[in-house]
A and B are shown apart, each in its own frame.
Chain A
């Protein structure tokens, strides 16, 4: 599963 990434660095999450 793709790491959803942290919303702290991702402006789209």
Chain B
């Protein structure tokens, strides 16, 4: 479905800047590079584990630019006390992954 992506353009720009600051290799960030950033949110590790599961859409243990944006979006939602969903809502699936 061509539902608009839940991640707003201005947020995506912000997430991309963080993504690039973590020095992606072949456009991918490994878990150990992303982990400190997500831990910085002070969210419980089990919540971050769920954020990772939902954002690592191809389950390759790495996050690409879009997957990283999904992870950041879920972290910000959790910080605003929005519970992390059990499954990725269709609106959150990056257009590149549909």
Binding site for B on A (CB under 8 A): 2-6, 8-13
A to B contact number (C-beta, < 8 Å): 37
Interface of B is mostly: helix
Binding site for A on B (CB under 8 A): 31-32, 34-35, 38, 45-46, 48-50, 52-53, 56, 59-61, 86
**A13, closest chain B residue (CB):** B49
Provide the bound-state CA to CA distance between A5 and B86, in Å. 12
Provide the bound-state CA to CA distance between A9 and B61, in Å. 4
Contacts of A10 in B (CB 8 A): 31, 49, 52-53, 56, 61
Q: Which listed residue (A2, A6, A8, A9) contacts B50, Cβ 8 A?
A: A2
